[in-house]
Structure 1
Amino acid sequence: MLAVIRYTVPESQSQDFVKQGHTILDTFADQPGYLRGRLARSVDEPNLWALVSEWEGAGFYRRALSASRMVMYPLMILMVHEPSAYEDVYLRDGA
């Protein structure tokens, strides 16, 4: 299961955002069902960021959100409000 949370971050806040993103991913990493995560920045729109994580299932992700609420709270005002959980339909690894 893939989770994508997008943020619109003013350049003046980007360094603090990166630190908080690390804290969120560190908190996620301590949760059951967490597989991996990354913080990414758009190459075309530098104010657009994504916190991407992979989970064993949607239930694990939703429970992790509850457990991470306090570390995620400072960034909520920057979130793009849209669905964030995606189920895998087809996977294809590279060579």
Structure 2
Amino acid sequence: MLAIARFNVALGNAAHFEAELSVALEALSQCAGFVKGEIGQNLDESSLWTLVTHWENVGSYRRALSNNNVKMNAIPLLAQAIDEPGAYEKPYSE
């Protein structure tokens, strides 16, 4: 499965926010079931950012959200995400 979190960030905060995203991604990457993740900034609207993570299954993703390191280093950032559904099932394997 993949999880997508999108953020709207003031341009003046972009460098700091990118660093926070990196810390959050590092915390998530240490969890069982994590496959890969990436950070992106929108090419057309540079105030939009995304954190995309790939997981073995939805259970792995949900358990990761309960991990203490993730609670400290990712959840506060994820709470700032645009309020929209972000969990997707992948219809194929890589």
Q: Same fold, TM exceeding 0.5?
A: yes
| 1:49 match | 49
Distance (Å, rounded) in 1 between the aligned partners of 2:79 and 2:87: 19
Measured on the aligned residues, the alpha-carbon RMSD in Å equals: 1.6
* Correspondence list, 1:57-72, <5 A: 57-67=57-67, 68-72=70-74
Q: 3-state DSSP class of the match of 1:4?
A: strand
Query: Cα distance 1:73–1:88, how it changes in 2: closer, same or farther (>3 A)?
Result: closer
Distance (Å, rounded) in 2 between the aligned partners of 1:84 and 1:46: 20
| 1:36 match | 36
Deviation at 1:73, TM superposition (A): 4.2
One-letter amino acid of the counterpart of residue 58, structure 2? A
5+ residue gaps, structure 1, are none
* Correspondence list, 1:1-95, <5 A: 1-67=1-67, 68-76=70-78, 78-90=80-92
Q: 3-state DSSP class of the match of 2:74?
A: helix
Deviation at 1:64, TM superposition (A): 1.1
Spell out, residue by residue over 1:25-67, the C-alpha distance to the aligned partner (whole angstroms, 9 max, x if none).
1111110000000000111110110000100001111111222
Total equivalences in the alignment: 92
Query: Which TM-score applies when normalising by structure 2?
Result: 0.87
5+ residue gaps, structure 2, are none
Deviation at 1:72, TM superposition (A): 2.3
